[in-house]
Amino acid sequence: MSKHYQFESFLSMTGANADERFNHRSSETGAVVAALAAAVGVSVAAPAISNAKVKAGIDKVAKDLLANKGQGLVICGSNDVNIQLLVNAINNAIGAYGTTIDWSAPLNYRQAIDKDFSDLLTEIENGTVGTLMIYGANPVYTWPEQDRVKKALSKVKLKISFAEKLDEISELSDYLVPTHHFLESWGDGEATTGSIGFLQPTIAPLFKTRQWQETLMVWAGKTEPYADFFKNFWVSRLGGETAFLKVLQDGVSLTRGEAAISGGSYSAAGIEGAVAAVNAIPKSSKKEVVLYQSNALGSGTHPANPWLQELPDPITKITWDNYAMISVSTADELKIDYKSNDYEYYPQKPIIAVKVKGKELKLPIIVVPGMDNNTIAVALGYGRTPSLGTTYVDEHREDKKVGVDVYPLSSFNGTSVNLYTIDAELTNTGENYKLAQTQIHNSYEGRVEVVKETTLATFLKDKEHYADDAKHLYETYTKKKGATRADYIKSGTLYAEHEPQGLKWGMSIDMNACFGCGACVIACHAENNVPVVGKSEVLRYHDMHWLRIDRYYVSDENDPNDLKGVIFQPMMCQHCDNAPCENVCPVAATNHSDEGLNQMAYNRCIGTRYCANNCPYKVRRFNWLDYTGADSFPNNQDQTVVGKLDPAVFHMNDDLTRMVLNPDVTVRSRGVMEKCSMCVQRLQHAKLDAKKEGVPLKDKHIRLACSSACAADAIVFGNINDPESAITKEREDNPLRTFYVLEQLHVLPNVNYLAKIRNTDEIIGGDDHHGAAEGHGAEAGHEAKPAAEGAHH
Amino acid sequence: MSLIRYESQARAPLVEGNKTYHDVTEDICRPVEAKPSKLWWVGFIISLGLLGFGVVSIYMDIVYGTGQWNLNKTIGWGWDITNFVWWVGIGHAGTLISAILLLFRQGWRTGVNRAAEAMTIFAVMCAGQFPIWHMGRVWNGFFVMPYPNTRGPLWVNFNSPLLWDVFAISTYFTVSLLFWYSGLLPDLATLRDRAKLKWSKFFYGLAAFGWTGSTKHWQRHEALSLVLAGLSTPLVLSVHTIVSFDFATSVIPGWHTTIFPPYFVAGAVFSGFAMVQTLLLITRKVLALEQYITMEHIDVMNKVIVLTGSIVGIAYLTELFMSWYSASPYEWFAFKENRLNVNSPYGWSYWLMMGCNVLSPQIFWFRKMRRNILVTFFMSILVNIGMWFERFVIIVTSLYRDYLPSSWSTYYTPTIWEIGFYMGTFGLFFTCYFLFSKFFPVIAIAEIKHILKKNGDSYKAAYAKEEMESYDEFEHNQSHHH
């Protein structure tokens, strides 16, 4: 099994998936890397690491990397070139070149050089720039010195911005040239060398816009349309129209194929300088602020997308805001009682003032275990100008902004932008701010029927443990020795049993593979017309996500800051065969299909909510208000006393935005219960496809929104009556990790989970094993995960 | 005097003040025939105001959606169903008094049965509002009716306890209404006969269904009363049993409990008697009926309260014990952490319930307390607060932290419209009760007359001499009379 170590200063999503984590200050990243370099045999002087835990961690990682030469990989999360040079040295020393690193297929994105922009800024200030054309960049917002950029721009005579929609820099430009939306555009990309992807228009332009490339061509006096130019370019590069059309049809061309891995060449030149530079990185004894790109909004390019705004953060489960993630000990220092009911059960969270570089920002906090004690973390990408769009507005705030813009806390160090800052001072303002969380409780309370997780060594010691648990349940329940799940299914209900014939749908979710990103949540949103409810309604616990990712912290009870691990558990309707929701609905609006689906007849639903109460998984979502404008009451979205809706909801309901609705899925009206349907519209489609082909329905016909969006293939879905289906194989291949959540309730879910196994020495949940380290490397593999160093995602 | 009417002096008289048949008619008809007092108007207008508040609250719920309430993805039921169960429970005392006590020939019921039955009907009317208006799409509420239809035909789900509720509550309401109304017939005829105004003669005449008081009428009336009592008696037990099934048949820890049916029935009678006390203490005072609703009635009803309160207490302790003994960590968590733990978000509500329902009624072991009007009134309010919290504890503290800790809910407090809806049912209840007390005799005249010669104090006093006689004297005197 692979092993993933993480050194970082705050709990990132990547770190949350690590087998073992170590916390350090951001300003210490260089020192940690240098120490690791020294420990793996790079000839550099090891700096002193004061934190004993981190120091021990470095030694341990070095030992593991050296013991598994050619199988490890160290990834650098810093944009500091000197640190990157040291990481290269480490990778060279541990034999990663040509084994885990392939130099022949480099990644081609994130190639921007901060210094180039800084130089441009100087040139503008010197008055040597006459015309500035801007596309896909918004430095008025993203550059550390926003005011300087604004001032500089005023010196440029002609500023032309090509943009899909108004942004901060377009506002300051002389001309705004509206360009196509990506769905209206031609385009191409090469993410890794040799992997070509095409973009082609899927809709006719909605507005009077023109693709920016075409505009440039017109201005340059070319008469050829961009589409032709695009085609001619690729026809000649791909060697013929047939090849071009094939890539166009497939969308991608993976021409690289199975080429040999290239080791590249390593040069140790510059290491000495790098070490010296790293040692010179300023440090402080005060707090540090680390700025990260949030999972949903990234650098802040897409706040106009309410799906992203409403996507709960993988770690904090907060929507529609950024905030300061602070450690448990920092909370203690600030006298924040994070253990109180007030903190957990009410959305009001304390506001702290962060004083740094002569600036003061007020930020609401959220207490997170597994943070470096001296670091607070704040997401970038928030606090965009409210006048730019409906979803940029939070009406409840004085400044009307969604979150706080923390770009001003970043700084340019001469070569790159520092996304952390030292010398921060924190004070508790005594004020409160409502943060809209979709989950408020962080521990799974040792409920082993809900979450099954263990360490590799414990698992290997007692491989049958989970299977035995299930067997014990089946035997005690049926009062029959050697009872199986089939016996368990047959027993215990008064009603006649449904013989599964033909199709019977099932899903398996691998908790080892899921890393909590939430792509499935967005996919589900888009596919199933799941309404956006806005921050005001998320605050009332009215979020509508059919699919959510439950996140639990596993912490030491005596030391809440000592995070042992994080669990991500995608949770959606479990499509129980003995469903507690079905028998309580007075009008049979929710009922069972003969394919094992628990289905909702929206038209029949009268909204008693009894089904949601009786759902042990709490996956049912009720249309509390008229989120979609789909009911027949006129003007009933204008509540003022209770349940005032945010502009985002209205935004989702305007004629333009409604174009995102999936025409295959009913838009539910107010007063109706809804939940995961297993993308039943896609299943129907698949059945028709198979029928048209005249073949039995197979896996290839079925693509659920969530499982197709999952980068880790954590969600496997299919027909369990088909012996060749992926779901059948997944369950057959993993009999020792397969479990059903709350199986003891005899609700007979059709969704199973695969237990999470961590490759760690850390003792979790009373495991009494020691020394699991022998398990790492390439043995007993699921997908290989690289060990990572300091990866700030 | 015939010996048949003899009742021991040990039993206090049920009608005080040397009443004659005529006095009874006069006393009880007076509030109906006189102009309503200022107090009546004040109460009635306040009730109408509350009712209006309720109508606005329901309007908001219907037009804007259930999101006008603070329920959420985890807590699907809150004040709505709490209020529903609470009102249904209150109704039970009326049925118990009119049906079971009739079958058991409890003479004291006659002083209170009319008002208690009216209370039942109004309480069930109030209760019914909640399952109706709590629906997200109430305009489709008729889907719960099993009748041949053009929608498939689509049939209802007979497995659902909510559907059982539909039948249980509607049956209960129908039978209670019939029972109450058939009991009213002789008194309506009395009012008709005494009416001086044309319209009231017409109104009461219509309402009295042509009652003449003939022997045949009385004979049929008695038979009908017995039949309806027979029908109502199982309802006293079944209605709240079925309401409890809403919870007992579910899978949610704190709901999934087999003790619920008897526990709910005891609780219902408990809260119902408390409500009867509240109402009658006011009614007897305002309408000057202290000689009909006597201290004896108050005393005996307080005995019922201490009995049922103690049964409820045992039920609480039993379910607490079972939650631990079951060895189900989820069950135990629901009790230990969601309820017993005072520091948990809703711990206070569990202890409030315990204090009001189990501890406070123990005061009624003392005769002095049972016969203290102020204490009784205060206690009746306390018990109803406690019983409201019992339902709140069951519903909300079970739901807000159930199986998956990821779904544990933020703190639930009602919105103004949830409070308004509840207040509105008080408005409905008291509006009905005020109208009832103005237009109908709040005590069954005919039934009081039926017991007067046995239990009226002047008649009872006549037997005082006999009580002191030796057997021989008694026999001698009795035979001498003949």
* pLDDT at residue A257 greater than cutoff 70: no
Check whether A465 has a pLDDT greater than 80: yes
- Other C-beta atoms closer than 10 Å to the C-beta of A300 total 22
Q: Could you read off the pLDDT of B280-299 as tens digits, one per residue?
A: 999 888 888 888 888 888 99
Residue A167 within a domain: yes
Q: Which of A341, A541, A639 is the closest to B345 by Cβ?
A: A341
Contact B159 A672 (CB under 8 A): no
Say yes or no: A460 contacts chain B, CB-CB below 8 A.
no
Considering only CA atoms, which of B260, B262, B266, B263 is closest in space to residue B247? B260
- For chain A, the average pLDDT equals 89
Query: Percent of chain B scored above 70 by pLDDT?
Result: 98
CATH of the domain at B265: 1.20.1630.10
Orientation angle between helical segments B373-399 and B215-248, nearest 10 degrees = 40
- Which tokens go with A412? 């340019």
Name chain A contacts of B418, Cβ cutoff 8 Å. none
Residue with tokens 């995602």: A793
Cα A449 from Cα B251, distance rounded (Å):
15
Pair type for strands A5-8 and A20-23: parallel
The residues facing A411 across adjacent strands are A418
pLDDT at A560 over 80: no
Task: Say yes or no to pLDDT of A351 above 60.
Answer: yes
The strand pair at A287-293 and A375-380 is best described as parallel
Of B131, B345, B416, which has the smallest distance from its Cβ to A641's Cβ? Answer: B416
- State residue B147 phi and psi, 5-degree precision: -145, 155
CA dihedral (A676, A678, A680, A685) positive or negative: positive
A476 contacts chain B (CB < 8 A): no
What would the mean pLDDT of B190-197 be, rounded to a whole number? 92
Same-domain pairing of A539 and A490: yes
- B310-317, long-range: CB < 8 A, 24+ apart: B310/B358, B310/B361, B310/B362, B311/B262, B311/B266, B311/B270, B312/B263, B312/B266, B312/B267, B312/B270, B312/B357, B312/B358, B312/B390, B313/B357, B313/B358, B315/B259, B315/B262, B315/B263, B315/B266, B315/B267, B316/B263, B316/B354, B316/B357, B316/B358
Strand pairing of A318-319 and A436-437? antiparallel
Sign of CA dihedral A775, A776, A778, A781: positive
Give the C-alpha separation, A6 to A15, whole Å: 6
Our count of domains for chain B comes to 1
Closest CA to A472 of A455, A450, A449: A449
Tell me whether A345 touches chain B (CB under 8 Å).
yes
Q: Stretch A347-370: mean pLDDT, rounded?
A: 93
Domain that holds residue A349: 283-437
Query: Same structural domain for residues A516 and A377?
Result: no
Residues A364 and A311 in one domain: yes
Whether the pLDDT of residue A785 is over 70: the answer is: no
d(CA B83, CA A666) in angstroms, rounded, equals: 34
User: What amino acid occupies position B264?
Assistant: F
Distant-in-sequence, close-in-space partners of B353: CB < 8 Å, separation ≥ 6? B386, B389, B390, B392, B393
Do A535 and A623 belong to one domain?
Answer: yes
Domain coverage including residue B423: 14-146+155-481
Q: What is the pLDDT of residues A503-516, one digit of tens each?
A: 999 999 999 999 99
Closest among A679, A493, A484, A684 to A579, alpha carbons compared: A493
pLDDT at res. A302: 86
Q: Any chain B CB within 8 A of the CB of A434?
A: no
Q: Are A42 and A25 in contact (CB under 8 A)?
A: no
pLDDT at B452: 80
Residue A602 contacts B, CB cutoff 8 Å = no
CB nearest to B345's CB, from A345, A569, A587: A345
Between A491 and B224, where is the model more confident?
B224
Do the domain assignments include residue A471?
yes
Query: Are A723 and A663 members of one domain?
Result: yes
Confidence of residue A258 (pLDDT cuts 50, 70, 90): low
User: In the predicted model, what is the mean pLDDT of residues A343-364?
Assistant: 93
B408 neighbourhood in chain A, CB within 8 Å: 440-441
Last residue of a domain, one of A403, A437, A471: A437
Q: What is the pLDDT of residues A49-59, one digit of tens each?
A: 888 999 999 99
Tell whether A540 is within 8 A of chain B (Cβ): yes
**Interchain contact, A443 vs B144, CB within 8 Å:** no
The answer to whether residue B362 sits within a structural domain is yes
Q: Is residue B4 part of a domain?
A: no
Quote the pLDDT of residue A775.
Answer: 34
Q: Is residue A448 part of a domain?
A: no
Judgement on whether residues A549 and A622 belong to the same structural domain of the protein: yes
The verdict on a CB contact (< 8 Å) between B67 and A624 is: yes
Residues B344 and B397: their CA atoms lie apart, in Å, by 10
B409 vs A541: CB contact, 8 Å cut-off?
yes
pLDDT of residue A336: 93
Residues A98 and A136 in one domain: no
Q: Are strands A411-412 and A417-418 parallel, antiparallel or unpaired?
A: antiparallel
* Same domain? A336 vs A203: no
Does A447 map to a domain?
no
Averaged pLDDT of chain B? 90
Instruction: Note whether A372 and A475 are same-domain residues.
Output: no
pLDDT in tens, A163-191: 988 999 999 999 999 999 999 999 998 88
Domain membership of residue B224 (yes or no) is yes
Cβ contacts below 8 Å, chain A against chain B, sum to 205
Task: Please answer whether residues A471 and A740 qualify as being in contact, where contact means their C-beta atoms are separated by less than 8 angstroms.
Answer: no
The confidence score (pLDDT) of residue A57 equals: 92
Please answer yes or no on whether B137 and A616 come within 8 Å at the CB atom: no
- Residue A528 in domain: yes
pLDDT recorded at residue A681: 95
| A85 shares its domain with A128 | no
Q: Assess whether pLDDT exceeds 90 at residue A313.
A: yes
- What pLDDT sits at residue B413? 95
Report CB contact under 8 Å: B73, A444.
Answer: no
Structural domain total, chain A: 4
Cβ contact, residue pair B410, A440, below 8 Å: yes
Tell me the torsion sign for CA atoms B12, B17, B23, B29.
negative
Residue B453 has pLDDT above 80, yes or no: no
CATH code of residue A226: 3.40.50.740
Tell me the Ramachandran region of residue B130: left when phi exceeds 0, alpha when psi lies from -120 to 50, beta otherwise: alpha
pLDDT computed for residue B323 by the predictor: 93
**Nearest Cα residue to A792 out of A429, A425, A290, A57:** A290
What is the b/e burial string over A111-149, where b = at least 16 CB atoms within 10 angstroms of the residue's CB?
Answer: eeebeebbeebeebeeeebeebbbeebbbbbbbbbbeeb
Cβ–Cβ contact A69 with B under 8 A: no
Alpha-carbon distance of A774 to A761, in angstroms, equals: 10
How far apart are the C-alpha atoms of A364 and A428, rounded to whole Å? Answer: 10
Q: What is the pLDDT of residue A515?
A: 95
**Residue-level pLDDT at B5:** 57
- Assign B310 a pLDDT band (cuts: 50, 70, 90): very high
Q: pLDDT at residue A542 above 70?
A: yes
For residues A32 and A7, give the distance between their C-alpha atoms in angstroms, rounded to a whole number: 8
Residue A787 lies in a domain: no
Please, are residues A698 and A724 in contact by the beta-carbon 8 Å criterion?
Answer: yes
Average of per-residue pLDDT across A275-295: 90
| A626 assigned to some structural domain | yes
Average pLDDT over residues A140-146: 93
Q: What local confidence, expressed as pLDDT, does residue A767 receive?
A: 42
Query: Would you call A117 an interface residue with chain B, using a CB distance cutoff of 8 Å?
Result: no
Facing residue for A643 by CB, picked from B67, B250, B333: B67
Q: pLDDT band at A763, cuts 50/70/90?
A: low
Consecutive H or E run containing A718: strand A715-719
Nearest-CA distance B319 → chain A (Å): 20
Q: Are residues A474 and A559 in the same domain?
A: yes
Residue A120: pLDDT over 60? yes
A325 forms beta bridges with A366, A377
Quick check: A341 contacting B, CB < 8 Å? yes
**B3 in a structural domain:** no
Q: Find the residue in A nearest to B329 (Cα).
A: A447
Q: Which residues of A touch B330 (CB under 8 A)?
A: 447
Structural domain includes residue B187: yes
Please report the pLDDT score of residue B93 as a whole number: 84
Please check whether residue A648 lies inside any domain of the structure. yes
In this predicted structure, the answer to whether residue A773 has a pLDDT above a threshold of 60 is no
**Residue B5 in domain:** no
Judge contact between A7 and A30, C-beta under 8 A: no
CB atoms within 10 A of CB A445: 18
Quote the DSSP letter at residue A714.
-
Per-residue pLDDT averaged across A92-102, rounded?
Answer: 89
**Chain B residues touching A625 at Cβ < 8 A:** 64-65, 67-68
Give me the helix-helix angle, B79-95 and B260-286, nearest 10°: 70
Are A197 and A171 part of one and the same domain?
yes
High-pLDDT (> 70) share of chain A, %: 95
